[in-house]
Amino acid sequence: MTTTTTRIERHHYDVVVIGAGGAGLRAAIEARLAGKKTAIISKSLFGKAHTVMAEGGAAAAMGNVNSRDNWQVHFRDTMRGGKFLNNFRMAELHAKESPQRIWELETYGALFDRTGDGKISQRNFGGHEYPRLAHVGDRTGLELIRTLQQKIVSLQQEDKRDHGDYEARIKVFSETTITELLLDGDRIAGAFGYYRESGEFILFEAPAVVLATGGVGRSYKVTSNSWEYTGDGHALALRAGATLINMEFLQFHPTGMVWPPSVKGILVTESVRGDGGVLKNSEGKRFMFDYVPDVFRKQYAETEEEADRWYTDPDNNRRPPELLPRDEVARAINSEVKAGRGSPAGGVFLDIASRRSADEIRRRLPSMYHQFKELADVDITAEAMEVGPTCHYVMGGVEVDPDSGAAFGHVRGLFAAGEVSGGMHGSNRLGGNSLSDLLVFGKRAGGHAASYADGLPARPKVAVDAVEAAVETALAPLQRDTGENPYTLQQDLQAVMGDLVGIIRRQGELEEALSRLAELRERVAKVSAAGGRRYNPGWHLALDLRNMLVVSECTAKAALERQESRGGHTREDFPAMDPKWRRVNLVCSLEGDTVRLARKPLPKIRAELVGLFDRAELAKYLTDEELAEFEALVADDADAEKER
Amino acid sequence: MANETSPAGKPAAKRQFRIWRGDESGGDLQDYAVEVNEGEVVLDVIHRLQATDAPDLACRWNCKAGKCGSCSMEINGKPRLSCMTRMSTFEEDETVTVTPLRTFPVIRDLVTDVSFNYEKARETPAFAPPPDLAPGDYRMQQVDVERSQEFRKCIECFLCQTVCHVIRDHEENKQAFAGPRFFIRAAELDMHPLDVKTDRREYAQAEQGLGLCNITKCCTEVCPEHIKITDNGIIPMKERVVDRRYDPLVWLGSKIFRRGQVPQTSVTSGHSSGAVHASGGHGGVHSHAGGSHDPQAEAQAQGGVNWNREVPHPTAPAVDTRGRLPLTELTFDRAAAPSPFGDDVTFPMPPEHLNFAHPEQDKH
C-alpha cells in the first residue's frame, strides 16, 4: 500500500551500531578501526546520550592509589555485588580489561583527575575494596562521551584526508530511531527506522548490528533515566529472535526526589542520611525504627536519642535505622506510602533542614544543596525533601556470548554491549562498573561484529515485504485517529510498573501487573498520534510504547517466577536469598507476540576463579552440593601441592 | 517543604505561554494557558503541553538535569536551558514566550538545525597524542589538567553559539567563524599538557575566525556550566596570538619571508603587520566604526575587493613592557579586555575596511 508512495533512503554498511552512548561509540570506533564501514544510529543529537549522567567514575583496577588492587580483587567485588549471579566470564573479562580501556581513553584526549605522581586518580566507591574509580569530578560520564565523540571526529578527519570525505567510513545518523531489525533467514540483514527530524524512513542494509541502546527506565513513574530509555534494544533483540536474561533485576535507589516535578527521579545521595537526615511520614513520625529487621537489630539504635548520639559518637552508640541497607530503606518507604502515610507526591519526607543548621548543610552537602537550589528552587536547608525509590539501572538484557557480545537465541549477526546486554552485573551492579562495562564490551562487540561481517560468504538480503511491513507498522499510529493519546498510555504503563513491579514485589501485585499489561497491550496496539511525520514527539512515543510494553512484560514475568530476593529483585513474600535460585537464569524470548520464560542453568565458574573466594563467603551463595564440589577442588589442589 | 503545606495538593495556577510553532516555511507565536505547579521548570510545562493540548509540539530534551545540553531554547528572548529555567523566576501574571534558538535554522517548533556546530567540531583538529607514549604511561599534574578540564565541562548546549552576535544575525559570518564553543575546544587542546600539535592558536586565528570575536562576554554570561569562556579561553588565545604578532623576530620574519613560508605564524601574520606598525608608532587615525549595513558599501563589497589597496591601520591598544595587553580587569576602565584590534574598531566591520587574507589566496 504505502510503500509505492513512501520514499525510503537506503544505505549500505558493514556494521550498524544502534545507540550512541559509551558502548555504541566504543563499538563503532572498534569496527571502524577494523576497516569496516560503520554507521552509528543515535536517537538524540551526537554526544547527548544518557552516559553523560554517570557521575561516580569508571571502575578499573589500575592500582594507582592502592597498589594492592588487581583484576582478581575487582572480579571478586563484582561477583559479590551481583550476589554471584553474574556471568563469571564477563566479570572476569571486565576486571582484566578495564584498565587498558581507560588508558586508551587518554590517548584519545581524556583528562581524568590525577594523583600526586601524575597518574589517573581513583576514588573509593560502595562495594569496591580499594579506591578504583577513575573520575573527573562528578562528570565522568560526560568526559567519557566527549572523548569517544572526539575520537570519532578524529577518525573522520583521517578519512577526509585519505578519501576526501569525512563520512567515507564512519557516519553518525543523529536523531534517528530504529524500529525494526530485518532478517534473512536467521541472519541479520539490516535495520529500518526513521529520521526524527523529517519523519522520512531510512533503511540500512548491513550484515552485522550492534545493539547499544541502554536501559528501560522510562517504563517507570519515577526514574533517573532519560526519555531515550525505552528498551528499544531489548525489544529489537526479542523480535529478531534473541533472548533476554535477568530482566527481573532493576536497580532502584531508595531516595530519589519525587517532588517537585522538575527534579523527579534525581538521586538524593545517601550521605544526606549519613549526615543527619531522617525519614518521616505524613504524620511527622520518624518511622524507620519500626522497620529494623531482626538480623540487624543489634547494630541499629532503638531510640531516637541513641540514634542522634551516633552522629557524634559512633563508637558508643548504634547506628540510626535510616542507614539500613538500601533495600530495607526502600521497603520501609514503600510500606509507609502503601499504608497511606506518604507525602502528597507519593513519597516520604527526608528532613535534614530541621536537624542541622543551614551553614552546616551547605558545608557538608554542597553539591546536593546547589543541585536542588538551581534545578528546583528547593532549599534543603529550609524544607524537607520528598523522596521515594527511583528506577536507576537495569541489570537484565540481551543474553550474549561473554567473549564476543554475540546475541544468543536463533539470530546471527546481532551483538549487544552496555546496559542493553545482560549477565555482566548479575543481580546488582556496583557503582562505577557500568562505565568500564561500556568500554570493555563495546570494544569487544564492535570488533567481533567486524570479524563476523568479514567471515560471511555472501551478504544477507533484505526482504521487500519485511520493509513494507515495517513501514506500515511505523505509519499506523498516524493513520488512526480513534485510539488513545500515547502520553496517557505511557503514564498508565508507568503507573503499573511503578506501583506493582517496583522495588518491592509481591505475587498478587505481579499477577495484577501482568493482567493490566495485557490490557495495555490492546490499547497500545490502537494508539494514535496527532500531527504529521516531521519531528513529532507524540508519534515517536507511540512507536516507543510497544518496546516499553514488551520489556515490561519480561520484567513482570521474570519477577513473578523468581521466588527469592536477590540484589535488584526483592520479593516481600520470599525475603531471603536462596542458593538454588542462584544457579538459574530466567531467559525471556518472544513467540509470536507472547513473552516466553525459560529457566537456564548458569555457566559453572572456572575453578581458579572460585578459588579466589574463601569457603565462608561461598557458603552464603552456594548450595551444599556446590560447596562439596568446591571442597573437593580445594582438596585436589592441596594434593597436587604435596606431590610437587 | 513543611508537612502542613501540601504542594501537590495546591490548585495549579494557569499561566500564559506564547510558543513559536512552525517550520522552515514560517510560523508564529501561539498562545497557551497551561497549568503550572510549584517547583516546575519551563521544560515541565512544555511536557504538560505535549501530554495535553499539543502532542506534536517539537522540542529536544534528554537528561532534564542540566547535564546533556539538549533543551536549549530562547525564553523571553534569552537563550537558556529549559530544564534549568524555573517558573518561579517569572511573575505570576507574566506571559512566558518560548522561541527556538535564533542563530540556527528552524526544523520544527522549538527544534533547530544545529548541524553548524557539528561541522565546526569536525573541522577543529583533534587531540594529537604524543607518538612515543604508550597507553598507561601518561603522566600529568592535576594543576596542569585543570585548565583544560574547565573547558571539558562543556555540555554542548550551544547557547554560547546562539548568543554570539558575530553569527546571531550575520549568516554571512558563519563560514569564517567557529564560535565560542570551538574557541574553548582549541584552547583546551592548546592547554592540554600532552597535546603535540603546536599551532592551535594560529589555527584559531586563521581558520576559526577568533579575530572576529570582540569579547563582549555574552557567551560567558549564558554558559550554564559557568565556564569562563572569554576570560580563560578566548582572551588567553588572543593574547598569545597578539604576543606572537608583537614578537620582533616574528615581525622581521614576516618581512623577510613571504607569507606562508613561516610555518609557525598564521597566514594572517602578513597582513597583521599593520598592527605591528601601529604599535611602532605609525598608527594612523581612522574609523572602523559604524556603517556596516550601508547598502552602498555592501554593494561595493559584493563587487569584489581590491586586496592590494591601502587599508587604514587600527589604533593598537596600549601594551605593557612585555608587549602584552593589560588584561587585569581590576585596573582596567571597562568590562573585559581591550580589543587587540584597537579600541576604535567595532564589529561587524564594514566590508570596505576588511582586509582578509584567505588561506587559499596565495596558493595559486
Confidence grade of residue B288 (pLDDT, cut at 50, 70, 90) = very low
pLDDT at residue B245 greater than cutoff 70:
no
pLDDT of residue A290: 94
- Residues in A touching B122 (Cβ below 8 Å): 153, 156-157, 166
Q: Is B39 on the interface with A (CB under 8 A)?
A: yes
CB contact under 8 A, B55 and A226: no
Cell for B307? 586586496
Report, as ranges of residue numbers, the positions in chain A whose pLDDT lies below 70.
1-5, 643-644
- Each residue of B13-54: pLDDT tens digit? 899 999 999 999 999 999 999 999 888 899 999 999 999 999
pLDDT at B334: 54
Q: Are A166 and A43 in contact (CB under 8 A)?
A: no
**Residue B269 pLDDT:** 36
Which of B6, B69, B140 has its CB closest to that of A118? B140
Question: CA-to-CA distance for A296 and B239, rounded, in angstroms?
Answer: 64
| Cβ count near A526 (within 10 Å) | 13
User: CB–CB of B56 and A50 under 8 A?
Assistant: no
Alpha helices in chain B (DSSP H): 42-51, 115-123, 142-152, 159-163, 165-168, 180-191, 200-206, 218-222, 235-246, 248-256, 269-277, 295-302
Cross-strand pairs, B29: B20
CB–CB of A53 and B63 under 8 A?
yes
Q: Which of B65, B88, B149 sits opposite A136 (nearest CB)?
A: B149
Q: Do A262 and B41 touch (CB under 8 A)?
A: yes
List active site positions of A.
Answer: 253, 273
Q: B334 CA to chain A: closest CA distance, Å? A: 30
Which CATH fold would you assign to the domain A252-391? Flavocytochrome C3; Chain A, domain 1 (3.90.700)
Fold type of domain A476-601: Methane Monooxygenase Hydroxylase; Chain G, domain 1 (1.20.58)
Going by pLDDT thresholds of 50, 70 and 90, the confidence category of residue B356 is low
Q: pTM here?
A: 0.84
Q: What is the pLDDT of residue A260?
A: 82
Verify whether the Cβ–Cβ distance B145 to A114 is below 8 Å.
Answer: yes
Residue ranges of domains in chain B, CATH in brackets = 13-112 (3.10.20.30), 115-363 (1.10.1060.10)
B66 vs A48, A119, A375: nearest CB: A375
pLDDT of residue A618: 93
Is the peptide bond prior to B105 cis by the omega test (within 30 degrees of 0)? no
Which residue, chain included where needed, has cell 536542588? A372
Of residues B102 and A641, the one with the higher pLDDT is: B102
Give φ, ψ of B230 to 5 degrees: -75, -55
Mutate to test the interface with B, among A40, A44, A45 (most CBs of B within 10 A): A45
C-alpha B290: how far from its chain's center? 22
Cell 517532588 identifies what position? A259
> pLDDT at residue B196 above 70?
yes
Type and span of the H or E element at B112: strand B111-112
Q: Which of residues 105-124 of B touch A (CB under 8 A)?
A: 107-109, 111, 113-114, 118, 121-122, 124
Average pLDDT over residues B146-163: 96
Q: Do B7 and A117 count as a contact with CB atoms less than 8 A apart?
A: no
